[in-house]
Every structure is written in structure tokens, then in C-alpha cells.
Amino acid sequence: MSRTDVLLRVDDLTVSYGNIRALKGISFDVRDGEIVTLIGANGAGKSSALRAVSGLIPFSGRILYGDRDLSRIPPDGIVRLGIAQVPEGRGIFGNLTVFENLRLATWQRKNKAEVAKDFERVFGLFPRLNERKDQMGGTLSGGEQQMLAVGRALMSRGQMMLLDEPSMGLAPVLVRDIFHTLAEINQAGTTILLVEQNAYMALHIASRGCVLETGSIVLSGTGRELLGNPRIKEAYLGG
């Protein structure tokens, strides 16, 4: 695959919860090796888009990963295809140790030697997790939980990582660290689809971005274009 190949193509994606239409036919794509970000305010439909890609909720429209149609594939099948998600609020299992949280994400993987290598990689990226290996997930600080959530997504060894507001609730310095790590992970070959309210940080590391407002994409462009766009400045970057 060359670097400009489309890895994920979302076409006319519509998601409804009962009568509420959370996504009203959005289309975007993510090329292999890119970081693409979806930004938008509360309730814009960002999480719904990621949930649809991960197979957690029914949708209409089309989602293609490579040339695979993702409709009707159950969530565990989507992970097997190579898409890992860091969910909103991190979703750490508080009753499992840090090590177990990571290990659970290797459910699909058979090659023990490679799994061991990935443990090393994750502990290399986040030495703090190694120190707290046997501690319960629920006892970690917010920042550590976020590291664990990202580490877990790495353990499933996907080609693509979806992240739902990784900066949520973190101090600015931690946010910078996390985004720095994401850029590193991306450099090492993982394609990233990043959902954020922290538009400034997200657009900084993203090659491209889409702005979501009440279920529709109202703007899209390269990260730099969007950062310079007056409308974005006013609405998302605090003037």
C-alpha cells in the first residue's frame, strides 16, 4: 500500500438513537499513515462516528476499511481487522491490574513472542505503566489511565487507532505528552483517527481535519488550513 492509499472510507454515514439523528450522512476518509481529526462541540456526533466504525452501534451508509465493508462485522471482528479504539472516558477496567488490562487487549493474538515485544514497546513508551504493572487499573491517576488506554490499543496491534477525546480531563502538560506520544505512534506506522474538543492540539498534529456540527461535517481541510480559518478560531480556538 502506498502512503496515499485510503485506509478508511466513511460514506454517507447516518446514526440514529430512536428519533434522535446523531449523524446525518457524513463522509470523510483517512489515508494510510495519516492523522485525521474530527473536531466538534458536545453532542456533535463525534463519539457516534467512532462507535459506528468499531461496530458498536448500527448505522446506515458505508464504512470501508481497505476494501472490506464493515457493516455487519461484530466489534471483535473489527479489532481483528486492525482497528483499535481508545474509548471516551478511557474505559479502564478498574478491577483488573494494569498488566491484565493490557493483556486482555491481546485476546485475538496468537504469537506470544510478538505480544511480549509489544509489552516492551508499551512499557518503553510509558515507563509509568511498567512501575504500576500490578496495581489495579482503578487506582491509577487520570493521566496514567489515559496512558493505559493508549497502551491497550497498541497491544491489539492494529494498523489503525481511533481515539475519543484523549485529552479529556487532563492537565495541559499531560495533554501535550499524550499528543506527543500519539505523533510518535503515528510515525511508527499507525494511522490515527482522532476525535477531540481540544481543537488546537488536535489540528496541530493532524494532517487533515473535519469539523462536525450537530451531525454534519461543516468544514474540512488540512490541519494548517483549519487552524488559520477565522470561523474555527472563533468557535473552537477561543478567538
Ligand X SMILES: Nc1ncnc2c1ncn2[C@@H]1O[C@H](COP(=O)(O)OP(=O)(O)OP(=O)(O)O)[C@@H](O)[C@H]1O
Q: At what angle do helices 142-155 and 112-125 cross, to 10 degrees?
A: 150
Q: Which of 129, 93, 99 is nearest to 116 (CA)?
A: 99
Under a CB-based contact definition with an 8 Å cutoff, are residues 151 and 125 in contact? Answer: yes
Binding flag, residue 85, Mg ion (CB under 5 A): no
Among 37, 47, 145, 198, binds Mg ion (CB under 5 A): 47
Cell of 47: 463519539
Among 31, 46, 132, 157, binds ligand X (CB under 6 A): 46
Among 10, 26, 44, 63, binds ligand X (CB under 6 A): 44
User: From Mg ion, another protein, ligand X, none, which one binds at residue 62 (CB under 5 to 8 Å depending on kind)?
Assistant: none
Question: Where in 66-146 does DSSP place strands (E)?
Answer: 68-69, 83-86
Closest distance to another protein from the beta carbon of 219 (Å): 29
Phi, psi torsion values for 36, nearest 5 degrees = -115, 140
Candidates 37-45, 95-103, 133-141, 152-160: pick the segment binding ligand X (CB under 6 A). 37-45
Instruction: Work out the burial of residue 64: count CB atoms within 10 Å of its CB; fewer than 13 is exposed, 13-18 middle, 19 or more buried.
Output: middle
Measure the CA–CA gap between 199 and 206, rounded to whole angstroms: 10
Closest distance to another protein from the beta carbon of 200 (Å): 27
Q: Provide the β-strand partners of residue 222.
A: 208
Return the DSSP state at 96: S
Under a CB-based contact definition with an 8 Å cutoff, are residues 149 and 93 in contact? Answer: no
User: From another protein, ligand X, Mg ion, none, which one binds at residue 85 (CB under 5 to 8 Å depending on kind)?
Assistant: another protein
Among 17, 134, 189, 230, binds ligand X (CB under 6 A): 17
Measure the CA–CA gap between 153 and 122, rounded to whole angstroms: 10
Cell of 23: 449523524
Candidates 4-12, 13-21, 77-85, 231-239: pick the segment binding another protein (CB under 8 A). 77-85
Candidates 16-24, 28-36, 96-104, 137-145: pick the segment binding ligand X (CB under 6 A). 16-24
User: From another protein, Mg ion, ligand X, none, which one binds at residue 55 (CB under 5 to 8 Å depending on kind)?
Assistant: another protein
Residues that bind ligand X in the complex, under the rule CB under 6 A:
17, 20, 22, 40, 42-48, 88, 197
Residues that bind Mg ion in the complex, under the rule CB under 5 A:
47, 88
Residues that bind another protein in the complex, under the rule CB under 8 A:
54-56, 74-76, 79-80, 84-85, 87, 91, 93-96, 100, 103-105, 107-108, 152, 156
